[in-house]
Amino acid sequence: MNGTAPGRLYGVGVGPGDPELVTLKALRVLRASPVVAWFAGPGRASNARRVVAAHLHDDQAEVALVYPVTTGAVEDGSDYEGLLAAFYDEAAVRLGALLADGRDVAVLCEGDPFFYGSFMYLYNRLRDGFETEVVPGVVSVVAGAAAIGAPLVCLNEALTVLSGTMPADELAARLQASQAAVIMKLGRNLPKVRAAVERAGLLDRAHYIERVTMDEERLARLADVDPAAAPYFSMVVIPSAAAAAR
Amino acid sequence: MNGTAPGRLYGVGVGPGDPELVTLKALRVLRASPVVAWFAGPGRASNARRVVAAHLHDDQAEVALVYPVTTGAVEDGSDYEGLLAAFYDEAAVRLGALLADGRDVAVLCEGDPFFYGSFMYLYNRLRDGFETEVVPGVVSVVAGAAAIGAPLVCLNEALTVLSGTMPADELAARLQASQAAVIMKLGRNLPKVRAAVERAGLLDRAHYIERVTMDEERLARLADVDPAAAPYFSMVVIPSAAAAAR
């Protein structure tokens, strides 16, 4: 024991991709953190790091948390789950050692840390041992509505956020019951998602959005998209019909 | 006709209340706008204006759009609807005149402009006549999850965002079908909402959050809250059970 007070773990939401959609609080926290950590796919750059790269400085240590497999394999079952759990365990041990040494650690998170983010797996493993703080961020859901210029949800309506990894029947049923919906995590789920949207009778209202607010942003009607493949950073937005008419 | 190019209408999301949860883009747009407009209840200060007050400057004209009635009367039926529609019509005429005169107008919006925001009613009335741009903001939904330190939703789960103005049966049914849920717009709907959460068997997982990220923020278990009254800026958050266990 050296008597140093332990560091604090921050989950920092950096927003959907546009470096201007970072909050003042996110910038303050990440600039002040001696350690900045981020997740990345094997052989890939971190998208969250790219968003805030201009604000990082040489005095900061960076910790790359590189997934053992690509996110495209999510549906492949228990082997993948076990591999990921071990990866998060190990990542938590690495960051825990830095925190125990008295250093604050800021984990960069695309969008918001607690909204489908991997940060929660570190948080669950470290929250009992260390002080934690989450800086909320702009989620892609509302950035998508802004990009297509469509009010998303109004008045006494429900908005449903779904994952493209759900079974097709569940997707279609939930879409049918929603006034407005967003489907995240398309990737290779896009053909299934498109079919579910069509079954729910919503194809004419559905927008496809790829890499929202990034330089490579792409907007299209879902009906016009080749469903063969979509990148992970893509979604379907079905804005409220009532919100456009008020 | 004086040949001036028309101004551009901006909807600027300023986030949930903490002035540090404003994005760089929101600040840039609102500082550069010669006209800043905001909604407010009769006799009340604008909460959105308070969030960014430090960044406004004397060269800017401000336009107060004051509701003819308080939001508490939302459920009172068609008279209220007609009154509001006329109010939005008149507000759009006021801002349209400024835009036609070549001035950009930034409308300040709590949270995000297209997420249950009044901005959409101006947008729908002005979008065909003028260039528009929406700057997305941090929504109270994710700020609430950060405040209570609870991962909101993960993996292949659905998140349902509901309005406290919904009928009790619909609230209970939708809550029962959700892995994670947020109920906005509590106000005098809180007793109904509390009963619906209890009927759905979710009372032990439900958090009550008032004025999230503001100085007056208040957090409690929904089970411990006196349901007699809640301010408009309050919500119930029911985070995913799975997200806390991963």
A156-202 per-position pLDDT tens digit: 999 999 999 999 999 999 999 999 999 998 988 999 999 999 999 99
Query: H/E element holding B161?
Result: strand B159-163
What residue has token string 């990034």? A214
- Please, which pLDDT band fits residue A70 given cuts at 50, 70 and 90? low
**Which of B81, B112, B135 is a domain's end point?**
B135
- Please, which pLDDT band fits residue B77 given cuts at 50, 70 and 90? low
What residue has token string 């800021």? A106
| ipTM of model | 0.95
Handedness of CA B25, B28, B34, B37 (dihedral sign): positive
Whether the Cβ atoms of residue B134 and residue A143 lie closer than 8 Å to each other: no
Contact at CB, B114 and A142, closer than 8 angstroms = yes
Contacts of B13 in chain A (CB under 8 A): 138, 142
Separation between Cα atoms, residue A246 and residue B4, nearest integer Å? 30
Q: What is the mean pLDDT of chain A?
A: 93
Task: Determine the pLDDT at residue A4.
Answer: 86
Contact at CB, B134 and A149, closer than 8 angstroms = yes
Contacts of B24 in chain A (CB under 8 A): 19-24, 27
Size of interface A-B (CB pairs under 8 A): 177
Supply the CATH number for residue B17's domain. Answer: 3.40.1010.10
Residue B188 resides in a domain = yes
Q: Which of B13, B136, B138 has the CB atom closest to A136's CB atom?
A: B138
State whether B75 and B164 are in the same domain. no
- Please, which pLDDT band fits residue A77 given cuts at 50, 70 and 90? low
**Which of A135, A165, A186 is a domain's end point?**
A135
Contacts of A114 in chain B (CB under 8 A): 142, 145-146, 150-153, 239, 243
- Residue A2: pLDDT over 60: no
Residue A126 resides in a domain = yes
Q: Which of B124, B157, B185 has the CB atom closest to A244's CB atom?
A: B124
**CB contact set of A17 (below 8 Å; sequence gap of 6+):** A47, A51, A110, A140, A143, A211, A212, A213, A214, A217, A233
How many CA atoms lie within 13 Å of B179's alpha carbon, on the beta-carbon side? 22
Number of domains forming the structure of chain B: 2
Contact at CB, A163 and B160, closer than 8 angstroms = no
B48: distance to nearest CA of chain A, Å? Answer: 16
Question: Best of A23, A75, A78 to disrupt the B interface by mutation (most B CBs within 10 Å)?
Answer: A23
State whether B123 and B13 are in the same domain. yes
Query: What's the mean pLDDT in A117-127?
Result: 97
- Please, which pLDDT band fits residue B80 given cuts at 50, 70 and 90? confident
Contacts of B121 in chain A (CB under 8 A): 246
**Which of A72, A107, A135 is a domain's end point?**
A135
Residue B93 resides in a domain = yes
Percent of chain B's residues with pLDDT above 70: 95
Q: Which of A24, A149, A213 has the CB atom closest to B132's CB atom?
A: A149
Separation between Cα atoms, residue B176 and residue B180, nearest integer Å? 10
State whether B12 and B131 are in the same domain. yes
Contact at CB, A18 and B25, closer than 8 angstroms = yes
Q: Which of A20, A115, A152 has the CB atom closest to B25's CB atom?
A: A20
State whether B239 and B160 are in the same domain. yes
Which residue type sits at A191? P
Residue B35 bridge partners (DSSP): B61, B105
pLDDT digit string, tens, across residues A195-227: 999 999 999 999 999 999 999 999 999 999 988
Query: What's the mean pLDDT in B73-95?
Result: 82
Contacts of A246 in chain B (CB under 8 A): 120-121, 124
Structural domain of A151: 140-245
Question: Best of A28, A76, A142 to disrupt the B interface by mutation (most B CBs within 10 Å)?
Answer: A142
What SS3 class is residue B116?
Answer: coil
Residue B83 resides in a domain = yes
Q: Which DSSP string corresponds to B168-179?
A: HHHHHHHHHT-S
- Residue A76: pLDDT over 70: no
Supply the CATH number for residue A219's domain. Answer: 3.30.950.10
Q: Which of B120, B161, B162 has the CB atom closest to A243's CB atom?
A: B120
